[in-house]
Structures are given as C-alpha cells and as structure tokens.
Amino acid sequence: MNKREKMGKFCEEVRKLSIEIMGAITESLGLGRDYLSSRMDENGTQVMAVNCYPPCPGPEKALGLPPHSDYSCITILLQNLAGLKIFDPMAHGGSGRWVVVPQVTGVLKVHIGDHVEVLSNGLYKSVVHKVTLNEEKTRISLASLHSLDMNDKMSVPCELVNDENPVRYKESSFKDFLDFLVKNDISQGDRFIDTLRIKD
C-alpha cells in the first residue's frame, strides 16, 4: 500500500470513527445513536488538514495557530509532538488557564466543535485551543473535521427545549461559518459561536 492509499484508508476509517463518536454524543443527549448518522455519513462533510510547524528558535514569541474553536461537530487529531493547548475556563476561579495536551504516541485526540455546542443547546461546549511551537523539532498534525453538508443547518432539537431550557443558539451551516471568516479576523479572538448565542 503506497502513501496515498494509506492516507485514503486513514480518512475512511477516521470518518467511520466520527460517526460512532457522534452516535455516542447524540445518545447521551437522549436523541438516539442515529440522530445525525445519515446527515454526517452519506451527506456530511469531512475536511482533512495536514499541518507542519517547523522548529522555531523563539517559540514563546510566536503561535502556530491562534486560539479558536472548530466549526464542526468534532475534530479528530493525530500529532507527532505535544504543542496543542486547550483553554480550561473553570480554572483559577473562573478566569481560566491554558493546559498542554500531553502527547501519547498513536493516540487520537477528539475535540468538540461549535456544531455540537449548538446541537446540545450548550450542554457540551466547543473546545477553545491553540498550537504552540517547538524550539528543536518539527511538529506535524493531521486534523480531520467532521460535520454536516455545507448548507445543512445545525439547530437545537425540540427534544432539548422546555420552559427551563429555552433555545440558546441560532441555527447555522458550515457555509455561514465560511461567510463569517471572510468578514472577521479569528486571529483577534473573533469566534463564530459567539454570534450564534441568543442573549437573555
């Protein structure tokens, strides 16, 4: 099997895994395992991003990727070195702190994306993360983002709405997110999910 075939096989298997993980998430919300399966399997979107971060002599002065959350249901990540940091908003009495995600060889990391935050009406929160650089080694990551079709809008299911839990998010699609990217600078901290939250 050549490298192209191996990459194709990896994409195929990680897509199957994403459907399994999303089934567990929707089941945990009381929606059943198959709530999104057809919208993510035959009709869904998978975006593969291969990132290469060369050694940086002053890693504390640069960022590989600024803080952001992924506009997907989930992101499945494989990396060769530590460098991923996630923001823990509950640390330090609610002021938050950045936590390094430890590197374990061969382990896949799974991030909750903005689409799941909307789907769950805020019960799940999308993971704010950033990438730091290494002074001596090249870091390579493969990120597989999984979501609905480009124009398919994610919304809060009626099963998760009642008098105590009103709808807290506007519906949106991946295309809406791309339109947001054109008009906003995520390197300055602009997050699409913030535009979807319905104010009390």
pLDDT in tens, the chain (200 residues): 898 999 999 999 999 999 999 999 999 999 999 999 989 988 899 999 999 989 988 887 776 778 889 999 999 999 998 889 999 988 888 888 999 998 888 899 999 999 999 999 999 999 999 988 889 999 999 999 999 999 999 999 999 999 999 999 999 999 999 999 899 887 777 899 999 999 87
Task: Collect all residues with Cβ–Cβ distance below 8 Å to 184 and sequence separation of at least 6.
Answer: 190, 192
For residue 189, what pLDDT is reported? Answer: 79
> Which one, of 184, 115, 182, 124, lies nearest residue 152 by Cα?
115
> Which one, of 195, 191, 198, lies nearest residue 165 by Cα?
198
For residue 27, what pLDDT is reported? Answer: 98
For residue 93, what pLDDT is reported? Answer: 83
For residue 95, what pLDDT is reported? Answer: 85
